[in-house]
Structures are given as structure tokens and as C-alpha cells.
Structure 1
């Protein structure tokens, strides 16, 4: 079964508001694998891989963010189909 893979960035008030943990929670509940991290210039970036429907749900959630975040821009840097996932879990990386 082919899987979807996305690389994303989220800008706005997204650091110091639990955004990475929000992303990790969605990914784990949807069975996605990958990573998320804070970038040095103040946005959050990451990669998620898994079922296409789960990826679509994650994209919608990323555009909204958790209650204390203020998303000003959500960008998909790349979206591809992959034969198998590169990761075995979804993690916050530094």
C-alpha cells in the first residue's frame, strides 16, 4: 500500500504554546510516523508519513493549531507518495 509523505512548516505564535506536543498527539492518534521540531527562526516544521486520509486530517489540524497558538501561515513544502515509511514512530526532535 502506498503512503503519503508531507513536509510542512507552520508560522505565527507556534512556539511556547505546546504546538509540537499537539502535532505529536494528532500523529499518534492517526497512526502517522515522522517528526516535528521548533526552527531557530520561530516556526515549527516537520514531516509526517502514513495513510492519505490521516495525512489530510493532520493538514487541517495543523492549519488551526492548539488553543493558545495563532497560526498565520501553514505551508506544505512537499507532498509525495512513498512505498514505505522512513520512520517507526512520531517524535519531537531538537
Structure 2
């Protein structure tokens, strides 16, 4: 089990991106959080097995229908045992 901190850049606020992220995380069993940051990016903490996290990262690039992701920054951090995936 691993946890990644991911910063999503692009048109990702005001377009349903956090809701999309939560729905997909719940579907594939990723635990963590997603929130908007004041600089217009979205911050995601994702915990799960590496295969699920890789699939999840691919979905973050796709995003919601009205979003446009320009790039992601990710780093592995110490494992966080999230109970659910929450929008904060």
C-alpha cells in the first residue's frame, strides 16, 4: 500500500473535477482526499495498491468532461490509512 500526493494543474476548478475524482476513487477502491487550492490547482492524496493508484492517475489526466488537465506533479509520501475518499 502506498500514498501519493498529487497536484493537478489546468482547468480543474469549477468543472466538477473533485466530484469526478471521488466517483472514480470510490469505484476502484482508492482512499484519500481531494481539494481545491487557492492557486487554481487541485490537491489529491491517494492511498491504495500500486496498480489501483496507476489506474487512478490515468483517470486524473482525463478528468471530468469540462476539465482540461495540463499536467500532474506527484510524489510518494508515507502511507496514510484513509478510511474513505473525501472531498474537502
Same fold (TM over 0.5): yes
CA contact (8 A) 2:47 2:53 kept: yes
Match of 1:37 among 30, 35, 38: 35
Secondary structure at the residue paired with 2:10?
strand
The answer on 1:79 being equivalent to 2:65 is no
TM-score by length of 2: 0.92
Q: How does 1:23-62 map to 2 (within 5 A)?
A: 23-62=21-60
| CA distance in structure 2 between the partners assigned to 1:21 and 1:11 by the alignment | 16
TM-score by length of 1: 0.86
Shift of 1:81: 6.7
Which segments of 5 or more consecutive residues in structure 1 lack a partner in the other structure? none
Aligned residue pairs total 88
| CA distance in structure 2 between the partners assigned to 1:49 and 1:74 by the alignment | 17
Larger radius of gyration: 1
| CA distance in structure 2 between the partners assigned to 1:71 and 1:24 by the alignment | 16
